[in-house]
Structure 1
């Protein structure tokens, strides 16, 4: 039986429980048979991949690769993923430089399959350990997300925002990356109580509004502040508590509707 990560009833209290038990639970989870089999298969066989078609044609390898970068939903989009892998990152007009979600760029960079196939007898160097480690991390988060998506999203943000804070880019570029990332934008939209209609606004307006609200909440709109764990925890606390309040309100409305229907019956 697969190990289910314990986060109580989710929400902010579940998040605090996970903080105290993260290392021990992740260690147990990483030793589960399914995770070990997938990880070992990837490490042993990724060196045989010489072209993008080799990777997308092997379901076991592709599933590990996509999960490592949080792209599980693309497992059946093989043509698209092949084009992502084959796109030349040095060509400004290529697909990889047009996609707002930078996870595809990271996938492209990790496998380096945009060039011609390597000569026979040689292989493209892939950091199989780093990718398989990320597979375990994302699988751990996915296990939680099947029951409490808000904690999976928070774990992703904890990692990705720290990384983004340390990248040498302009603040505007960093904000565009956040808006282009579905998991990250959910954190900011949730923390500020923004409705689903917010995503329909022009991109520049979304960036401007998120920066303004972040400055009011955090005292600064700079993404670099999230290299400070205390600042990041403050943002995630707002997201988790607002998310839980919204879920409670939704359940309350659902219960009221059931009561009305029962009375009518």
Structure 2
């Protein structure tokens, strides 16, 4: 049986508990037979994969590969994943460059089937993909109990890479808006309504820039390169998430929360 990460009632208090116990709990989680078997199978068999067909036709290999990049929901969309894997990442018109969700581009680049250069296959880091698989599995285990903490962990891992890109602030915000997990964190942190995701993407970006300026004095995602600012966004998201959950449970919860401050 898979070890379930213990985080109490979740929310911000669960987040703080995770920060204190993550290393110990992950060490226990990694010893789970299912996690070990999947990781070991990938490490032992991925070298025999020479084309996209080999990967998409092997359920066990594909499940590890997709989990590593947070694309579990596409496990049964094999025809689509094959197109993603075979696309040329250097072609601006290819599917991986047209998709707003850049997790697909990362998957494509990790395996190099569409690069047109056989040598790129040697760049595949089996160890790094296996480690990503374990990390995502750990987060998914948390998400089954406390989705808000899984989303916070994802943001903590993914945002530094977006911030470091050599692109405009607007482009970085578009990438954030295109990622449902990241957008949810900012929706919560900024106190946007549940209807926010239905706004045109240009409006979403504009609203996030404005909210960012109010919180940090700058609309740039680069403000989150400071650990204290990243912590502030995550804390705001987690506390608001818990208040919203309480409000659903009882119409008086929000008023009680305010009175207790």
What TM-score, normalized by structure 2, do the two folds share?
0.92
Instruction: Spell out structure 1 runs of 4+ moving beyond 3 A.
Output: 115-119, 122-125
- Structure 1 residue 180, shift from structure 2 partner: 0.5
Are 1:199 and 2:215 matched, yes or no? no
Residue in structure 2 matching 1:163, options 161, 164, 167: 161
CA distance in 1, matches of 2:32, 2:125: 23
Q: Does 1:30 align with 2:30?
A: yes
Name the structure 2 match of 1:43: 43
Cα root mean square deviation, aligned: 1.9
Contact 1:50 1:117 in 2 (8 A): no
Please report how far the alpha carbon of residue 82 of structure 1 lies from its aligned counterpart in structure 2 after TM superposition: 0.5
2:121, 2:111 → 1: CA distance?
11
How far 1:219 sits from its partner (Å)? 2.2
Deviation of 1:236 (Å): 0.4
Structure 2: how far apart are the matches of 1:90 and 1:17?
43
Counterpart position of 2:83 = 83
SS across alignment from 1:233: helix
- Partner in structure 1 of residue 230 of structure 2: 232
Q: How does 1:26-175 map to 2 (within 5 A)?
A: 26-115=26-115, 124-175=122-173
Structure 2 CA distance for partners of 1:52 and 1:205, relative to 1, 3 Å: same
Deviations 1:93-138 (A, max 9, x none): 111111000100100000001156959xx96541100000000000
Aligned partner of 1:218 in structure 2 is 216
1:163-208 CA deviation, whole Å, 9 max, x = no partner?
A: 2222222111110100010100000011122223222222111101
Listed as ranges, the gaps of 5+ residues in structure 2 are 254-261
Give the Cα separation in 2 of the matches to 1:237 and 1:115: 41
Between structure 1 and structure 2, the one with the greater Rg is: 1
Q: How many residues align?
A: 253
- Using the TM superposition, give the Cα deviation of residue 51 of structure 1 relative to its aligned residue in structure 2, in angstroms: 0.8
Q: Is the 8 A contact 2:88 2:116 kept in 1?
A: no
- Asked which structure has the greater RCO (Cα within 8 Å, sep 6+), the reply is 1
SS in 2 for 1:221: coil
| Structure 2 counterpart of 1:261 | none
**Structure 1 residue ranges without an equivalent (≥5):** 256-265
Please give the alpha-carbon distance, in whole angstroms, between the structure 2 residues aligned to 1:185 and 1:49.
35
SS of alignment partner, residue 3 of structure 2: coil
User: Whole-Å Cα distance in 1 between the matches of residues 208 and 109 of structure 2?
Assistant: 29
Distance (whole Å) between structure 2 residues aligned to residue 69 and residue 3 of structure 1 = 22
